[in-house]
Chains A and B, each alone.
Chain A
Amino acid sequence: MISADDGTEARREEALAMRDGALDGARLVALLADEDWRVRKQAAESATARLAEPRVMELLLEALLQPDDVGLRNAAVEALARADARDAGRVAGALGQALSRAEPAARKFLAAALVGGAESGLVTLAELAGVEDVMTASAAVEALATLAWRGVESAAVQEVLVAVLARPEPVLRLAAIDGLVACNAIVPAAALRDVLADPITRTSAARLLARAGGEEGLALLLEMLGRPRERADAALALAHRSAPPLGSEPDELARIGEALRALDDEAIASLASAFRSSSVEDGRRLARLALEVGELRLLPAVVELGARAELDGRSRTALVELGPRTTDPLLDIVEARTSDEPRIAAWALEAAAELTALVTSPMPSTLARITTLARQLAETGDDVARRAAAAVLDRAEPARSRRSSRPAPPSDELEVLLSSDDPSHRASALDALVAVESTERIERVALALTDEDERVQLAALRALARARSADAAAAAVRVSRVALGSELDSVRAEATATLSSLGAFHEEPRLGELLTLTADPSPRVVIAALRALELAGLHAGEDARAGLVDAALDRCLEHADPEVVKEALLPVGHGAREATFARACRALGHPHWSVRVRAAEVLGRAPSRAGALEALEARAPLETDELVLRALAAGLANGSDRGEGA
């Protein structure tokens, strides 16, 4: 917020006014040197707008070249660097001329100001890149890199930057390399040999070499792999080289793989360290390279990345393509890391399990090992690891079942997981139950209905819905009815769905319960009850219950929640009773558009029913909502296809 107290706003306004009108040079300079950055910024913008005026250019150059006032100088740099195409040539020319009278300390600012000059400033910048003063040359190199990045005369810029690589000063070489990387330059390997030898510039140069392509670049990098101090940089460069968009030829990958396999374990361990100390992107690329060439000694480092969710899709694909030969090494990692680093062990376990699942006939010993290790992991104190172990154990069960000719006994894993202190494990255990055959199992599941965690209760209800034998189903119905009294509407709704799928509502005594549920305070429960009602066919009969059902449907059609109304329209629309069906027509006038869409759809599917077509036709001219109009049109079209209506 600009303070009005010290006159800042007034000075800023004054600087703004300097964009045109009579020039007060001294005042412009004073504003460029103002103590407040906002005033300086505005003054610089105004000066840029007037660069065509020689006097302004002169003032800016003087400001640029004076050594005392930093703020003034920077404001001048900013004003000049913003020169547009119209003024760029003039700026570059002026700056070039000023070069000869500039103090060494000021030259770097000239270089910075030349960025705005585009190709006009190239010559001057090239000259400045060759001066003895390192700071000036460095500023010029950075300015050139900026130009190249902007796509300005890339070839000429790159030529200058490559020439800078021959300078002895590391800071210049680094600036030149960064510039060449920034403009995606392809640098001949020969030009990089010296820079590769220097530890200060090696890492950046290796990146550049990755782009070099060709045999010479590859040979140089493979050579570097064999030298301990250069190995990590070479590996990183190779990783970048082989990654998209460049990609590597298959035989190139083979050669890289061969070079890595020729390294001893100690050398590989040092490369693994490079994984850990790299940036996320670099680590990712190293992992991809390791997997694509099949260097399994680097698998632990890859797994560490995986556990941190830093592996990309291509790496995961490469891991899958390596196939079962990675399973045992992954399980070795699980074994080694379970105690101290359970999350890493968990990732390795899940990867091994997934790879095993892809195999048609996995080795029994592998399955057994996976299960044993999963159980060990399930005992750790780490929630993530325990969850992963639980998931693996769940998946391992079907594989074991395929191999066993006898029905599986009550699962030990179920007991373990139901006694877990992690509610997600308890819920997962219940969700993993494919079917519930026995009353003993029903009892186990039923106890989970008293769990303090809502997720577990819901999972228990879902499991109860999978009761298969008549006895189990009867027991499931009895306990699910208790859940109808839950305080949680999610549980009541799920219990309704469970009872519905168990066929409980087909029996007479349950109808009263179901109709009571259609009056539940929670819309969620009402919706579940309406679905159950339709599933039980109660909307369609003509018996004595019809009146009670209609009354319940009427109530739901008047519900405040549009979702309930929409749900009620389905049994109303599908029902056999004409009087009930007629109620759907009224819903075409509902305030909520989605209800009107549903009503139009319901009526449109049965245009021959009493009043349906007429209702659709009557509504169409009154409707303004696009989606509703579409549904009305579809319904009317359906009616005319069938030859209905007038």
Chain B
Amino acid sequence: MTILLDGGPRMRRDEFRLLRDLVNKRSGMFFDDTSFFVFERRLRERAKVLEIGDFSAYYQYLRFHPRGPEELEEAIDALVTNETYFFREEYQLRAFSEDILPRLHEQASRAHRRRLVIWSAGCSTGEEVYTLAILVLRSKLFVGWDVRVFGNDISRRVLGIARRGVYPRHSFRAMPSQYDEYFEPDPSGRRVIEPVRSLCQFGHFNLMERERASILGRVDAVFCRNVLIYFDAASRKTVIDGFYERLQPGGYLMLGHSESLLHVSTAFELAHLSADMVYRRPLAAVSLPPPSGRGSEDVR
């Protein structure tokens, strides 16, 4: 039994379902019944901020108040654990750096294309985006190329942190010291240096919004690690299909170490690297149905 420390509103089961369904509809994220107490505890804080006394009223606020969409974003932000740090899951990043980047360089060069775009899907506070940019710079394979590392998230709060590029000590707990040169001191911690920042851009959209994602054009690699765990099966498929659309033929998809495409998509092939296996869009592309009845054209 959970002992509540304050006298805030209690959530009923029907309220939990309504709120959960609303979050799912807006973001594709799904929370099963075991998330009830997380919902209650974290959304109680939001209700308190708005001085709303019960969760039914909070639901109405989310649905009908002019600030409802913004508040829903805050609610989702509160529900999702945004924990990330530099060089998270380092073994995978090593594979990216030692195997994938050279392959991407070769593929692009053969196609006479001096362009590299990497997408960190669900980038949270941005550490992954900057990590990837550092690895690209350090590889020295793409000097003089048009390089972009793009990160998106549904939360404006974390995007603001990502844009500032200043991080406290705990963000560096897994980072080898050889990368220190890419940071400079800041009163609040350490700041990503300008040559890395200038490679990075951030955007605000939901991974379910495939139309909006089409603005990215074709990308060479997608990192989506420990994000899909929040999505239900149908939403997961929508998101993965969206990645497929965005990837160049031969482009790579990196998921979290506990995630797979089993029961989600058969369009990707497995690529065997020296120390890891990742997913890749085949060089001979498979067609997917277009989203929203529009044509399947891309920006590029």
Where the two chains meet, the residues of A that have a C-beta atom closer than 8 Å to any C-beta of B are 379, 381, 412, 415-416, 418-421, 439-440, 443-444, 446-452, 475, 478-479, 482, 485, 487
Q: Within the assembled complex, what's the spacing in Å between the Cα atoms of A147 and B202? A: 70
User: B residues 243-300 with Cβ under 8 Å of A?
Assistant: 297-300
Q: Given contacts A447-B201, A479-B215, are A452 and B159 in contact (CB under 8 A)?
A: yes
Partner of B217, one of A418, A446, A448: A446
Q: Which of A412, A451, A475 has the most CB of B within 10 A?
A: A451
Interchain CB contact under 8 A, A446 and B201: no
Q: Within the assembled complex, what's the spacing in Å between the Cα atoms of A450 and B297? A: 19
Q: Within the assembled complex, what's the spacing in Å between the Cα atoms of A485 and B294? A: 12
Interchain CB contact under 8 A, A440 and B146: yes
Interchain CB contact under 8 A, B215 and A452: no
Interchain CB contact under 8 A, B215 and A475: no
Interchain CB contact under 8 A, A446 and B215: yes
Residues of chain A within 8 A (CB-CB) of B152 are 450
Interchain CB contact under 8 A, A475 and B299: yes
Q: Within the assembled complex, what's the spacing in Å between the Cα atoms of A575 and B199? A: 50
Residues of chain A within 8 A (CB-CB) of B211 are 482, 485
Partner of B197, one of A419, A448, A449, A479: A419
The reply on B8 being an interface residue by CB < 8 A is no
Residues of chain A within 8 A (CB-CB) of B300 are 439, 443, 475
Cβ contacts B127-159/A at 8 Å (1 or 0 each): 000000000000000000010101010001001
Name the prevailing secondary structure of the B interface residues. mixed
Residues of chain A within 8 A (CB-CB) of B198 are 412, 415-416, 419
Interchain CB contact under 8 A, A449 and B160: no
Q: Within the assembled complex, what's the spacing in Å between the Cα atoms of A412 and B194? A: 11
The reply on B216 being an interface residue by CB < 8 A is yes
Q: Which of B69, B146, B156 has the most CB of A within 10 A?
A: B146
Interchain CB contact under 8 A, B165 and A450: no
Interchain CB contact under 8 A, B69 and A450: no
Q: Within the assembled complex, what's the spacing in Å between the Cα atoms of A350 and B160? A: 28
Q: Nearest 6 A-B pairs (CB), nearest first?
A: A450-B203, A452-B204, A421-B163, A415-B198, A421-B164, A419-B197
Q: Within the assembled complex, what's the spacing in Å between the Cα atoms of A478 and B297? A: 9
Q: Within the assembled complex, what's the spacing in Å between the Cα atoms of A412 and B202? A: 18
Q: Within the assembled complex, what's the spacing in Å between the Cα atoms of A439 and B298? A: 13
Q: Within the assembled complex, what's the spacing in Å between the Cα atoms of A439 and B114? A: 13
Interchain CB contact under 8 A, A479 and B148: no
Partner of B204, one of A379, A443, A451: A451
The reply on B212 being an interface residue by CB < 8 A is yes
Residues of chain A within 8 A (CB-CB) of B202 are 451-452
Residues of chain B within 8 A (CB-CB) of A439 are 300
Residues of chain B within 8 A (CB-CB) of A379 are 194
Interchain CB contact under 8 A, A419 and B204: no
Q: Within the assembled complex, what's the spacing in Å between the Cα atoms of A418 and B149? A: 13
Interchain CB contact under 8 A, A479 and B299: yes
Residues of chain A within 8 A (CB-CB) of B200 are 419
Instruction: List the A residue with the shortest CB-CB distance to B188.
Output: A381
Q: Within the assembled complex, what's the spacing in Å between the Cα atoms of A448 and B202? A: 8
Cβ contacts B21-55/A at 8 Å (1 or 0 each): 00000000000000000000000000000000000
Measured CB to CB, the closest approach of chain A to B17, in angstroms, equals 25
User: B residues 201-254 with Cβ under 8 Å of A?
Assistant: 201-205, 211-212, 214-217
Q: Within the assembled complex, what's the spacing in Å between the Cα atoms of A479 and B214? A: 8
How many residues of chain B have a CB within 8 Å of chain A?
33
Q: Within the assembled complex, what's the spacing in Å between the Cα atoms of A159 and B110? A: 99
Q: Given contacts A446-B299, A447-B148, A479-B299, are A440 and B215 in contact (CB under 8 A)?
A: no
Measured CB to CB, the closest approach of chain B to A455, in angstroms, equals 13
Q: List 12 A-B contacts (CB under 8 A).
A: A418-B201, A419-B200, A420-B163, A421-B164, A443-B148, A443-B300, A446-B217, A446-B299, A449-B215, A450-B152, A451-B204, A478-B297
The reply on B115 being an interface residue by CB < 8 A is yes
Interchain CB contact under 8 A, A421 and B204: no
Residues of chain A within 8 A (CB-CB) of B216 are 447, 450
Instruction: List the B residue with the shortest CB-CB distance to A481.
Output: B294
Interchain CB contact under 8 A, B299 and A450: no
Q: Within the assembled complex, what's the spacing in Å between the Cα atoms of A448 and B215? A: 9
Q: Which of B160, B200, B205, B299 has the most CB of A within 10 A?
A: B299
Q: Within the assembled complex, what's the spacing in Å between the Cα atoms of A451 and B152? A: 9
Q: Within the assembled complex, what's the spacing in Å between the Cα atoms of A420 and B163? A: 7
Measured CB to CB, the closest approach of chain A to B77, in angstroms, equals 12
User: B residues 41-97 with Cβ under 8 Å of A?
Assistant: 69
Q: Within the assembled complex, what's the spacing in Å between the Cα atoms of A363 and B246? A: 48
Q: Given contacts A419-B198, A446-B215, are A452 and B165 in contact (CB under 8 A)?
A: no
Q: Within the assembled complex, what's the spacing in Å between the Cα atoms of A418 and B163? A: 10
Interchain CB contact under 8 A, B212 and A447: no
Instruction: List the B residue with the shortest CB-CB distance to A478.
Output: B299
Interchain CB contact under 8 A, B214 and A416: no
Measured CB to CB, the closest approach of chain B to A69, in angstroms, equals 54
Residues of chain B within 8 A (CB-CB) of A447 are 148, 150, 201, 203, 215-216
Measured CB to CB, the closest approach of chain B to A631, in angstroms, equals 37
Q: Within the assembled complex, what's the spacing in Å between the Cα atoms of A294 and B160? A: 46
Residues of chain A within 8 A (CB-CB) of B203 are 447, 449-452
- Given contacts A416-B198, A446-B217, could you give 13 more A-B pairs where the C-beta distance is less than 8 Å? A412-B198, A416-B197, A419-B163, A440-B146, A443-B148, A447-B215, A447-B216, A478-B298, A478-B299, A482-B211, A482-B212, A482-B215, A485-B211
Q: Given contacts A419-B198, A450-B212, are A440 and B115 in contact (CB under 8 A)?
A: yes
Q: Within the assembled complex, what's the spacing in Å between the Cα atoms of A479 and B215? A: 6
Q: Given contacts A450-B205, A451-B204, A475-B299, are A421 and B215 in contact (CB under 8 A)?
A: no
Partner of A421, one of B165, B194, B199: B165
Interchain CB contact under 8 A, B115 and A450: no
Q: Within the assembled complex, what's the spacing in Å between the Cα atoms of A487 and B69? A: 10
Q: Within the assembled complex, what's the spacing in Å between the Cα atoms of A445 and B69? A: 26
Measured CB to CB, the closest approach of chain A to B146, in angstroms, equals 5
Residues of chain A within 8 A (CB-CB) of B217 are 443, 446
Residues of chain B within 8 A (CB-CB) of A449 are 203, 215
Q: Within the assembled complex, what's the spacing in Å between the Cα atoms of A136 and B211? A: 86
Q: Within the assembled complex, what's the spacing in Å between the Cα atoms of A610 and B194? A: 66
Residues of chain A within 8 A (CB-CB) of B165 are 419, 421
Q: Within the assembled complex, what's the spacing in Å between the Cα atoms of A485 and B101? A: 35
Q: Within the assembled complex, what's the spacing in Å between the Cα atoms of A379 and B165? A: 12
Residues of chain B within 8 A (CB-CB) of A452 are 156, 159, 202-204
Residues of chain B within 8 A (CB-CB) of A448 are 201
Q: Within the assembled complex, what's the spacing in Å between the Cα atoms of A379 and B191? A: 11
Q: Within the assembled complex, what's the spacing in Å between the Cα atoms of A439 and B212? A: 18
Q: Within the assembled complex, what's the spacing in Å between the Cα atoms of A421 and B159? A: 9
Residues of chain B within 8 A (CB-CB) of A450 are 152, 203-205, 212, 215-216
Residues of chain A within 8 A (CB-CB) of B156 are 452
Residues of chain A within 8 A (CB-CB) of B299 are 443, 446, 475, 478-479
Measured CB to CB, the closest approach of chain B to A301, in angstroms, equals 29
Q: Within the assembled complex, what's the spacing in Å between the Cα atoms of A420 and B297? A: 31
Residues of chain B within 8 A (CB-CB) of A381 are 187
Q: Within the assembled complex, what's the spacing in Å between the Cα atoms of A482 and B298? A: 10
Q: Within the assembled complex, what's the spacing in Å between the Cα atoms of A420 and B202? A: 10
Interchain CB contact under 8 A, B214 and A482: yes
Interchain CB contact under 8 A, B146 and A421: no
Instruction: List the A residue with the shortest CB-CB distance to B197.
Output: A419
Residues of chain B within 8 A (CB-CB) of A451 are 202-204
Q: Within the assembled complex, what's the spacing in Å between the Cα atoms of A487 and B216? A: 19
Residues of chain B within 8 A (CB-CB) of A478 are 297-299
Q: Within the assembled complex, what's the spacing in Å between the Cα atoms of A115 and B99? A: 96
Q: Within the assembled complex, what's the spacing in Å between the Cα atoms of A452 and B212? A: 12
Measured CB to CB, the closest approach of chain B to A225, in angstroms, equals 44
Residues of chain A within 8 A (CB-CB) of B115 are 440
